[in-house]
DNA sequence: TTTTATACTTACTTTTGTGCAAGTACTTAC
DNA sequence: GTAAGTACTTGCACAAAAGTAAGTATAAAA
């Protein structure tokens, strides 16, 4: 996992924002390019590591595991490993993680409406 | 504003995700460390550039203007400049921008509940 | 003895985000 | 003619996020 320096200006800002702004608190937990996609995959039920990899083909293993570890640390999901060889690991949303569902859903609705309203813009972009 | 290379792997992934995953579409528009904070400030009504600066003291002018431009480009807010000297510019949420309110609100609620549930963890971290 | 399967690790490079510090433009007031 | 006020703009440095490519561990199956 990428190490983080503890005492940069950015980290101080983050710590402050984390405590002062609840929205920033959430953004911390769900931002990272693949996190929402991973969460979405898990909304439909537990998945093994390899199933996630198959479901999200363009993610690299490094990013997948890194985000899974982070989500686990943030207690949004639960990792369960069976002591067998080859390994068998499943990831499941925690209660907190599941409570994100209405938020992710609202975001999706907003996105669909917003991009519908701006279809002509996207279209003209593609044409130009 | 920071220039972006058009043909990096990252940009290709973003484009794909942008079209395929509505949640990512939203994340694109509200991520950036200060964006949610700026949006929050504007939820209570139009503000001048200088008022935003005063309301968010720790943001640098570069970041403030950069995010304001991006939000304007994404049509989440509307910029109105009076042709006077010294300049007088106001920023107002667009209809799309205002529709983010329930989402931001839901995020805040989640954050408060989640951090309440995990108070003991934060506490033990501070002590160690 | 080599291969297969699964779940990771590690080192390194590229790309993007943020902060810092300084400068610009333009007009009215002093 | 110098200062004040407002809204930017620019260049540089560094931190963080993401990508690339390769390697590790283990035991059972071939």
Distant-in-sequence contacts of B110-113, Cβ < 8 A, 24+ apart:
B110/A26, B110/A99, B110/A100, B110/A103, B111/A22, B111/A23, B111/A25, B111/A26, B112/A22, B113/A99
Kindly state the percentage of chain B with pLDDT values over 70. Answer: 80
CA distances from B89 to B16, B35, B65 (A): 36, 18, 12
Judge whether B9 is closer than 8 Å to chain A, CB to CB: no
Helix H or strand E encompassing A90: strand A88-93
pTM score of the predicted model:
0.86
Give the distance, in angstroms, between residue A14 CA and nucleotide C23 C1': 29
Express each pLDDT in A16-61 by its tens digit. Answer: 555 678 999 999 999 999 999 999 999 999 999 999 999 999 999 9
Express each pLDDT in A68-94 by its tens digit. Answer: 999 999 999 999 999 999 999 999 999
Q: What secondary structure letter does DSSP report for B17?
A: H
Of B75, B102, B110, the CB nearest to A99: B110
Of B23, B37, B111, the CB nearest to A26: B111
Judge whether A42 is closer than 8 Å to chain B, CB to CB: no
User: What is the torsion angle, in degrees rounded to the nearest 10, for the CA atoms of residue B80, residue B82, residue B87 and residue B90?
Assistant: -30
Judge whether B88 is closer than 8 Å to chain A, CB to CB: no
Is the CB of residue A91 less than 8 Å from the CB of residue A49? yes
């Amino acid at each position: 996992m990428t190490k983080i320096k503890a005492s940069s200006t950015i980290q101080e800002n983050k710590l402050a924002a984390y405590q002062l702004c609840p929205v920033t608190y959430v953004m911390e937990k769900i931002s990272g390019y693949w996190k929402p996609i991973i969460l979405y995959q898990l909304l439909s039920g537990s998945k093994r590591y390899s199933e996630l990899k198959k479901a999200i083909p363009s993610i690299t293993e490094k990013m997948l595991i890194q985000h899974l570890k982070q989500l686990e640390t943030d207690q949004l999901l639960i990792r369960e490993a069976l002591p067998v060889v080859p390994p068998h690991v499943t990831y499941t949303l925690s209660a907190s993680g599941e409570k994100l569902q209405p938020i992710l859903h609202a975001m999706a609705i907003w996105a669909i409406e917003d991009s519908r309203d701006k279809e002509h813009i996207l279209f003209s972009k593609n044409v130009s």
